[in-house]
Structures are given as structure tokens and as C-alpha cells.
Structure 1
Amino acid sequence: MKQVIKELLFVVCALLMAPITLLYFVFAIILKKDAVLSSYSQLLSLMPGKLGVYLRAGFYRFVLTHCSPDAVISFLVLLSQADTEIAEGVYIGAQCNIGRCSIGKNTLLGSGVNVMSGKGQHNFDDLTQPIKDQGGYFEKISIGENCWLGNGAMIMANIGDGCIVGAGSVVINDMPAHSIVAGNPAKVIKNRLD
């Protein structure tokens, strides 16, 4: 019965968000899609409590590449890239910044986690040009299933299934599945299978 009520709530919230979602698609045709998403994300992040979680899910499930309706996207979470995938059972804690990525099933992100769109977002080789004018590229970061990313972690590389990332860690290299990693730069401390 509880699951039926939850699913009904997801549908109702999606319907309530329909006018906002339609406006998003209109603006996305005229302006840059990611800029529009970023603006909407800032506004929607301010909705508090469970109702805010359900309303955000009602919006993001239609505008991201994929967003499960049961994903928990908490207060003050900012999303900046529409090419983002959020699988079933994902929990994203308060004040996270989410770039272009794919987050696997049942993964938990603590508060203040930054998932950047790779480590090549800014070029800085030309000393005669301002860094802001040198461009860069966005890559899609993959975070595996059943991971736990501690508060304040910065993710710039792929993370395998079943990984645990210590709070405040800076992940700049791909991490193999079932690793426990920590530090700046993050290093493998232990494999959970050992």
C-alpha cells in the first residue's frame, strides 16, 4: 500500500510540475539547454522538505537524460548538465553540485559532494589568453552502483561499483570497483573484497 501511495505522489508531482517542465522545453529551444537547466535547478533547489524532493523528481525525470522518479535530490542540489543519468534508489544529499554524469543504482552522495564533468573543463596552456577564454571539454563521469560518496568529496573521474569515497576526498583518477578511497588526491586504501 505504501508503495502505491508513493507512486501516486510521483505522478501527482509530475503533473503539478508539467507547466514548469513545458516552459523549460520552450526556453531550451531558444537558449542553451544547459544554461536553462542550471537556472531551473537553482530555483527548484530552494523547495524544502519531502514535497521539494517529490517536485524535483517530477521535473528532472523529464529533462535529464534519465532520472528515476524515486531518486532523492535534496535541498540546494544544483544540476548543470542535461546529459545526466540518475538511477533508481539514488540519494543526493543537500548542497551537492552535479555536472555531466551517470549515477548508478542505490548510490548515496553525502552533503556537499561535487561531481564535476571531468578534469578537462578548463584549458590553461596559453599564457597570453585569459583562462576563461581558452575553452575546455566536458566528459561524462560514471559513478557505479551501490557506492557511498562522503560529504564534501570532489569527483573528477570514474568510480566503479561498490566503492566508498572518504569525506573530503578529491578523485582525479578512475577508481576500480569495490575500492575504499580517500585523500587528496584520492588513493585506494583497501578493496572491499579482500
Structure 2
Amino acid sequence: MKQLIKHIVFLVLALVISPVTISFKLLSLLLNNDALIASYSQALSLLPGKLGSYLRSGFYRFALSYCSEDALISFGTLFSQQDTCIEKGVYIGPQCNIGKCRIGKNTLLGSGVHIMSGKGQHNFSDPSKPIKDQGGTFTKVEIGENCWLGNSALVMANVGAGSIVAAGSVVVDDVPEGVIVGGNPAKVLRQLSQF
């Protein structure tokens, strides 16, 4: 019964936010989807409280590649790429910055976590050109199921299932499954016993 009530609440809130969703879908026919998702994300990030979290989830269900209806997306969280997947049971803390990624089931992100669209977003190999004119490559970062990314972690590479990224860590290389990593750059600190 509790699951049914929750499902109905999520559905009602998706209907409440539907005028915003419809305007996004119409504008996406004319404009760049990533620029559009960033603009809508900035506006929606300011809705406070649990109601704001649920309304954001109602919008992102239809605006991102995939977003589970029960994802909790906190105040101040920004998305920069439409090709983002948020799986079931994900919690995204306040003031996160999310690029092109897939966040696995039951993963938790602390406050101020940044998931970049890989580590090749900016080229800087030609000193005669401004960095902004050198382009870059966006890659989809994979965050496994049941992970914990601590406050202010910067993630530019994949994180294996069941792993923990310590607060303030900078992940530039892929993290294996079932480990705790920390530091800048993040290194394996220890293996978790269940893996």
C-alpha cells in the first residue's frame, strides 16, 4: 500500500510540473538540448524542500535520458548534459554539479559532488590557441550501484559498484568495485570486506 501511495504522489507531482516539461520538449525541437537542460536545471534547482526534490524528479523523468521516479535531487543541484541516467533509489545531495553520466541504483552523493563528463572536456595541447577554442571530448562517466561519493568529491572517471569516494577526493582514474578511495588524485585506501 505504501508503494502505491508513493507512486501516486510521484505521478501527481509529474503532472504538476508538466507545463515546464512540455515547454522543455517544445524548445528542444529548436535549441541545443544540453544548453536547454542547463537553463531549466538552474531554474528548477531553486525549488526548496522535499516538494522541490520531487518536482525536479518529475521533470527529469522526461528531460534526461533516464531518471527514476523515486530519485531525490536536492536543492541547488545542476545538470549540464541531457545524456544522464539516474537509477532507482539514487540520492543527490545539495549543490551538486552533474555532467554526462549514469548513476547506479541506491547510490548516494553528498553535498557539492561534481561528476564531470570525463577528463577530456578541455584540450590544451596547442599553446598558440586559447584553451576555450581547442574543444574537448565528453565521455559518459559510470557510477556503479550502491556507491557513496562524499561531500565535494570531483569525479572524472568511472566508479565501480559498492565503492566509496572519500570527501574532497579527485577521481581521475577508474575506481574498481568494492574499495574506498581518497586523496588527490584518489588512490585505493582499502578493500571493503563484502567484495
Place the TM-score, normalised by the shorter chain, in its bin.
over 0.9
User: How big is the shift at 1:25?
Assistant: 1.1
Which deviations, in whole Å up to 9, do the C-alpha atoms of 1:22-66 show, x marking residues without a partner? 110111111100000000000000000111011001100011111
Aligned to 1:188: 188
Task: Give aligned-pair identity as a percent.
Answer: 62
Aligned to 1:22: 22
Partners in 1 of 2:4 and 2:125 — Cα distance? Answer: 55
Aligned to 1:69: 69
Partners in 1 of 2:25 and 2:106 — Cα distance? Answer: 29
Matched, 1:109 2:109: yes
User: How big is the shift at 1:108?
Assistant: 0.2
User: How big is the shift at 1:77?
Assistant: 0.3
Partners in 1 of 2:44 and 2:111 — Cα distance? Answer: 17
The 5 A counterparts of 1:1-194 are 1-193=1-193
Give the TM-score of the pair, scaled to structure 1: 0.98
Query: Unaligned regions of 5+ residues in structure 1, if any?
Result: none
Partners in 2 of 1:160 and 1:100 — Cα distance? Answer: 17
User: How big is the shift at 1:17?
Assistant: 1.3
Partners in 2 of 1:183 and 1:58 — Cα distance? Answer: 35
Which deviations, in whole Å up to 9, do the C-alpha atoms of 1:59-93 show, x marking residues without a partner? 00011111000000000000010100000000000
Partners in 1 of 2:99 and 2:122 — Cα distance? Answer: 14
Query: Unaligned regions of 5+ residues in structure 2, if any?
Result: none
The amino acid that maps onto 2:191 is N
Partners in 2 of 1:45 and 1:151 — Cα distance? Answer: 18
Aligned-partner SS, 1:30: coil
Aligned-partner SS, 2:121: coil
The amino acid that maps onto 1:68 is S
Give the TM-score of the pair, scaled to structure 2: 0.98
Partners in 1 of 2:7 and 2:54 — Cα distance? Answer: 10
Aligned-partner SS, 1:29: coil
The amino acid that maps onto 1:146 is N
User: How big is the shift at 1:16?
Assistant: 1.0
Partners in 2 of 1:65 and 1:104 — Cα distance? Answer: 14
Root-mean-square deviation (CA), in Å? 0.8
Aligned-partner SS, 2:142: strand
Partners in 1 of 2:184 and 2:111 — Cα distance? Answer: 18
The amino acid that maps onto 1:163 is S
User: How big is the shift at 1:104?
Assistant: 0.3
Partners in 2 of 1:184 and 1:54 — Cα distance? Answer: 34
